Amino acid sequence: MITFPDFPTYTAKASHIYWEPVSGSGERITAAVALADQSGAARVISLLSPEILSVLYRGQGSNAAGLLGLLNDSLKSHLKKVGDLEGWNPPVTGFFAQPMQEYDGQTAEDILDQVAGLHSSLYKARAPSKPDRLPTHSDEAIRQHVKDAARRIGGLQADRVFTPGGIIEVIDGGRKHHLDIPIKTGTKVGSIMSAWYNTPSTIEKHFLRAQSNLAVAAERGHYEAGLFISMPSGLEGHKNQQQVENIIDDIYWRLSRTGYYLEVRETPESLAQEILDWAA
Protein backbone atom coordinates (compact mmCIF):
# COMPACT_ATOMS: atom_id res chain seq x y z
CA MET A 1 0.00 0.00 0.00
CA ILE A 2 1.09 3.57 -0.70
CA THR A 3 1.38 5.64 2.45
CA PHE A 4 0.71 9.33 2.02
CA PRO A 5 2.27 11.86 4.40
CA ASP A 6 0.03 13.34 7.04
CA PHE A 7 -1.69 16.58 6.19
CA PRO A 8 -0.25 19.66 7.91
CA THR A 9 -1.92 20.21 11.24
CA TYR A 10 -0.16 23.35 12.39
CA THR A 11 -0.74 26.87 11.03
CA ALA A 12 1.20 30.02 11.88
CA LYS A 13 2.21 33.37 10.48
CA ALA A 14 5.90 33.85 9.79
CA SER A 15 8.27 36.39 8.28
CA HIS A 16 11.95 36.84 7.52
CA ILE A 17 13.95 39.89 8.55
CA TYR A 18 16.56 41.46 6.31
CA TRP A 19 19.71 43.07 7.69
CA GLU A 20 21.72 45.77 5.92
CA PRO A 21 25.11 45.71 7.72
CA VAL A 22 26.36 48.82 5.89
CA SER A 23 23.55 51.35 6.16
CA GLY A 24 22.48 52.73 2.79
CA SER A 25 24.54 50.24 0.74
CA GLY A 26 21.55 48.17 -0.33
CA GLU A 27 23.43 44.97 0.55
CA ARG A 28 21.08 42.81 2.61
CA ILE A 29 21.15 39.33 4.12
CA THR A 30 18.45 37.43 5.95
CA ALA A 31 19.23 37.63 9.63
CA ALA A 32 16.27 36.00 11.37
CA VAL A 33 12.88 34.31 11.01
CA ALA A 34 9.94 35.24 13.25
CA LEU A 35 6.78 33.19 13.86
CA ALA A 36 3.52 33.67 15.73
CA ASP A 37 0.71 31.09 15.96
CA GLN A 38 -2.97 31.30 16.92
CA SER A 39 -2.27 30.38 20.55
CA GLY A 40 -0.10 33.46 21.00
CA ALA A 41 3.18 31.56 21.03
CA ALA A 42 6.07 33.47 19.43
CA ARG A 43 9.34 32.10 18.09
CA VAL A 44 12.38 33.86 16.65
CA ILE A 45 15.47 32.11 15.30
CA SER A 46 18.72 33.79 14.30
CA LEU A 47 20.19 32.53 11.03
CA LEU A 48 23.68 33.95 11.64
CA SER A 49 25.62 32.23 14.42
CA PRO A 50 28.45 34.01 16.27
CA GLU A 51 30.89 31.66 14.50
CA ILE A 52 29.58 32.65 11.06
CA LEU A 53 29.67 36.33 12.02
CA SER A 54 33.31 35.99 13.11
CA VAL A 55 34.12 34.59 9.65
CA LEU A 56 32.15 37.29 7.82
CA TYR A 57 33.24 40.29 9.89
CA ARG A 58 36.36 39.08 11.75
CA GLY A 59 37.11 41.59 14.51
CA GLN A 60 33.60 43.07 14.32
CA GLY A 61 31.89 39.69 14.68
CA SER A 62 31.10 40.12 18.39
CA ASN A 63 29.57 43.55 17.73
CA ALA A 64 27.39 42.08 14.98
CA ALA A 65 26.29 39.27 17.30
CA GLY A 66 25.28 41.87 19.88
CA LEU A 67 23.09 43.69 17.33
CA LEU A 68 21.38 40.45 16.34
CA GLY A 69 20.74 39.70 20.00
CA LEU A 70 18.94 43.05 20.32
CA LEU A 71 16.97 42.23 17.18
CA ASN A 72 15.77 38.87 18.51
CA ASP A 73 14.73 40.30 21.87
CA SER A 74 12.80 43.12 20.19
CA LEU A 75 11.00 40.76 17.79
CA LYS A 76 9.96 38.35 20.56
CA SER A 77 8.65 41.15 22.76
CA HIS A 78 6.58 42.68 19.94
CA LEU A 79 5.16 39.35 18.76
CA LYS A 80 4.05 38.39 22.26
CA LYS A 81 2.19 41.70 22.63
CA VAL A 82 0.72 42.11 19.14
CA GLY A 83 0.88 38.68 17.49
CA ASP A 84 2.10 40.27 14.25
CA LEU A 85 5.06 42.34 13.05
CA GLU A 86 2.86 45.20 11.91
CA GLY A 87 4.00 48.36 13.70
CA TRP A 88 7.29 46.82 14.82
CA ASN A 89 10.16 49.28 15.13
CA PRO A 90 13.67 47.76 15.00
CA PRO A 91 15.94 48.50 18.01
CA VAL A 92 18.64 49.85 15.66
CA THR A 93 18.63 50.93 12.04
CA GLY A 94 19.40 48.45 9.27
CA PHE A 95 16.73 45.79 9.95
CA PHE A 96 13.67 45.33 7.71
CA ALA A 97 10.83 42.90 8.47
CA GLN A 98 8.83 41.51 5.59
CA PRO A 99 5.01 41.16 5.88
CA MET A 100 3.97 38.03 7.74
CA GLN A 101 2.32 35.27 5.73
CA GLU A 102 0.45 32.11 6.72
CA TYR A 103 2.26 28.80 6.50
CA ASP A 104 1.16 25.23 7.14
CA GLY A 105 3.36 22.56 8.63
CA GLN A 106 3.62 19.82 11.21
CA THR A 107 5.26 21.95 13.92
CA ALA A 108 6.62 25.44 14.55
CA GLU A 109 10.10 24.12 13.78
CA ASP A 110 8.82 22.83 10.44
CA ILE A 111 7.54 26.28 9.44
CA LEU A 112 10.66 28.07 10.67
CA ASP A 113 12.71 25.66 8.59
CA GLN A 114 10.54 26.34 5.52
CA VAL A 115 10.90 30.11 5.73
CA ALA A 116 14.62 30.00 6.46
CA GLY A 117 15.24 27.62 3.57
CA LEU A 118 13.32 29.88 1.17
CA HIS A 119 15.01 33.14 2.08
CA SER A 120 18.50 32.52 3.47
CA SER A 121 21.58 31.30 1.59
CA LEU A 122 23.47 31.17 4.90
CA TYR A 123 20.85 29.01 6.59
CA LYS A 124 22.61 25.97 8.12
CA ALA A 125 26.03 27.43 7.22
CA ARG A 126 28.80 26.31 9.53
CA ALA A 127 32.05 28.10 10.27
CA PRO A 128 35.29 26.12 9.81
CA SER A 129 36.09 24.25 12.99
CA LYS A 130 38.92 25.64 15.07
CA PRO A 131 41.53 23.28 16.50
CA ASP A 132 41.31 22.79 20.25
CA ARG A 133 45.03 23.35 20.55
CA LEU A 134 47.00 26.29 19.25
CA PRO A 135 49.72 25.44 16.73
CA THR A 136 53.15 25.32 18.36
CA HIS A 137 56.30 27.12 17.23
CA SER A 138 59.23 27.19 19.64
CA ASP A 139 61.28 30.28 20.45
CA GLU A 140 64.14 28.79 18.43
CA ALA A 141 61.98 28.26 15.34
CA ILE A 142 60.50 31.76 15.50
CA ARG A 143 63.92 33.34 15.98
CA GLN A 144 65.29 31.56 12.93
CA HIS A 145 62.34 32.72 10.82
CA VAL A 146 62.86 36.29 12.05
CA LYS A 147 66.62 36.20 11.37
CA ASP A 148 66.02 34.88 7.86
CA ALA A 149 63.47 37.62 7.25
CA ALA A 150 65.89 40.26 8.62
CA ARG A 151 68.56 39.09 6.17
CA ARG A 152 66.10 39.43 3.30
CA ILE A 153 65.26 42.96 4.44
CA GLY A 154 68.66 44.26 5.54
CA GLY A 155 71.14 41.93 3.89
CA LEU A 156 74.27 40.86 5.73
CA GLN A 157 74.11 44.01 7.88
CA ALA A 158 71.22 42.38 9.73
CA ASP A 159 73.57 39.75 11.19
CA ARG A 160 75.25 42.42 13.31
CA VAL A 161 72.04 42.77 15.31
CA PHE A 162 71.86 39.10 16.31
CA THR A 163 74.15 37.30 18.73
CA PRO A 164 75.97 34.11 17.68
CA GLY A 165 73.86 31.17 18.72
CA GLY A 166 71.42 33.52 20.47
CA ILE A 167 73.58 33.54 23.61
CA ILE A 168 75.63 36.21 25.40
CA GLU A 169 78.26 35.65 28.08
CA VAL A 170 78.14 37.53 31.38
CA ILE A 171 80.88 37.44 34.02
CA ASP A 172 79.75 37.95 37.59
CA GLY A 173 82.02 37.42 40.59
CA GLY A 174 84.60 35.79 38.38
CA ARG A 175 82.13 33.21 37.10
CA LYS A 176 80.83 32.99 33.55
CA HIS A 177 77.09 32.83 32.94
CA HIS A 178 75.32 32.37 29.62
CA LEU A 179 72.07 34.18 28.91
CA ASP A 180 69.51 33.51 26.22
CA ILE A 181 69.70 36.91 24.46
CA PRO A 182 69.36 36.78 20.65
CA ILE A 183 69.64 40.57 20.03
CA LYS A 184 72.55 42.76 21.16
CA THR A 185 74.03 46.04 19.92
CA GLY A 186 76.30 48.58 21.56
CA THR A 187 73.39 50.07 23.51
CA LYS A 188 70.55 47.56 23.38
CA VAL A 189 69.70 43.99 24.32
CA GLY A 190 66.56 42.21 23.18
CA SER A 191 64.76 38.91 23.16
CA ILE A 192 62.42 37.26 20.65
CA MET A 193 59.61 35.22 22.14
CA SER A 194 57.03 32.92 20.61
CA ALA A 195 53.40 33.06 21.74
CA TRP A 196 52.57 30.03 19.55
CA TYR A 197 51.99 27.55 22.35
CA ASN A 198 49.32 25.03 23.21
CA THR A 199 48.27 26.70 26.44
CA PRO A 200 48.29 30.31 27.66
CA SER A 201 50.22 29.25 30.76
CA THR A 202 53.16 28.22 28.55
CA ILE A 203 53.25 31.74 27.09
CA GLU A 204 53.43 33.16 30.62
CA LYS A 205 56.29 30.83 31.54
CA HIS A 206 58.35 31.79 28.49
CA PHE A 207 57.71 35.48 29.14
CA LEU A 208 59.00 35.26 32.72
CA ARG A 209 62.16 33.54 31.47
CA ALA A 210 62.73 36.20 28.79
CA GLN A 211 62.10 39.01 31.28
CA SER A 212 64.59 37.54 33.75
CA ASN A 213 67.32 37.22 31.10
CA LEU A 214 66.73 40.78 29.88
CA ALA A 215 66.90 42.15 33.42
CA VAL A 216 70.38 40.66 33.90
CA ALA A 217 71.60 41.49 30.39
CA ALA A 218 70.54 45.13 30.71
CA GLU A 219 73.17 45.53 33.47
CA ARG A 220 71.17 47.93 35.64
CA GLY A 221 70.07 50.17 32.82
CA HIS A 222 73.36 50.26 30.91
CA TYR A 223 71.55 48.68 27.94
CA GLU A 224 68.04 49.46 26.71
CA ALA A 225 65.95 46.26 26.83
CA GLY A 226 63.32 45.19 24.32
CA LEU A 227 61.06 42.19 23.85
CA PHE A 228 59.63 41.14 20.48
CA ILE A 229 56.70 38.70 20.55
CA SER A 230 55.45 36.57 17.66
CA MET A 231 51.66 36.46 18.02
CA PRO A 232 49.65 33.54 16.58
CA SER A 233 47.58 34.45 13.53
CA GLY A 234 44.04 33.18 12.96
CA LEU A 235 43.04 33.33 16.63
CA GLU A 236 39.54 34.65 15.88
CA GLY A 237 36.98 32.29 17.39
CA HIS A 238 39.57 30.06 19.08
CA LYS A 239 38.63 29.02 22.60
CA ASN A 240 41.92 30.44 23.94
CA GLN A 241 41.73 33.73 21.99
CA GLN A 242 40.71 35.90 24.93
CA GLN A 243 43.20 34.31 27.32
CA VAL A 244 46.10 34.77 24.89
CA GLU A 245 45.13 38.39 24.19
CA ASN A 246 44.78 39.08 27.93
CA ILE A 247 48.24 37.65 28.63
CA ILE A 248 49.80 39.79 25.87
CA ASP A 249 48.03 42.88 27.28
CA ASP A 250 49.34 42.05 30.76
CA ILE A 251 52.88 41.59 29.42
CA TYR A 252 52.66 44.96 27.68
CA TRP A 253 51.52 46.61 30.94
CA ARG A 254 54.28 45.01 33.00
CA LEU A 255 57.08 45.91 30.58
CA SER A 256 55.85 49.47 30.07
CA ARG A 257 56.03 49.93 33.86
CA THR A 258 59.70 48.94 33.84
CA GLY A 259 60.63 50.99 30.77
CA TYR A 260 61.16 48.03 28.43
CA TYR A 261 60.41 48.29 24.72
CA LEU A 262 57.79 45.87 23.37
CA GLU A 263 56.44 44.97 19.92
CA VAL A 264 53.92 42.25 19.04
CA ARG A 265 53.54 41.10 15.42
CA GLU A 266 52.01 38.14 13.57
CA THR A 267 54.58 37.58 10.79
CA PRO A 268 58.37 37.08 10.88
CA GLU A 269 58.77 39.85 8.28
CA SER A 270 56.96 42.49 10.34
CA LEU A 271 58.77 41.43 13.51
CA ALA A 272 62.14 41.54 11.73
CA GLN A 273 61.45 45.05 10.45
CA GLU A 274 60.57 46.25 13.96
CA ILE A 275 63.80 44.76 15.34
CA LEU A 276 65.95 46.37 12.65
CA ASP A 277 64.30 49.75 13.17
CA TRP A 278 64.72 49.52 16.95
CA ALA A 279 68.33 48.36 16.80
CA ALA A 280 69.41 51.02 14.29
- The CA distance from 232 to 249, in Å, is 14
What is the pairing mode between strands 261-265 and 224-230?
Answer: parallel
Residue 17 to residue 4: CA distance in whole angstroms: 34
Full-model pTM: 0.53
Nearest CA among 236, 180, 187, 251 for reference residue 213: 180
pLDDT tens string, the chain, 280 residues long: the values are: 566 667 778 899 999 999 999 988 999 999 999 999 988 889 999 999 888 888 888 878 888 888 998 999 999 999 999 999 999 999 999 999 999 999 999 999 999 999 999 999 888 888 766 555 667 888 899 999 999 999 999 888 888 899 988 898 887 777 888 899 999 998 999 999 998 876 778 888 889 999 999 988 888 778 899 999 998 876 666 667 777 888 888 888 888 888 899 998 888 999 999 999 999 8
Phi-psi region of 148 (alpha: psi -120 to 50; beta: other; left: phi over 0): alpha
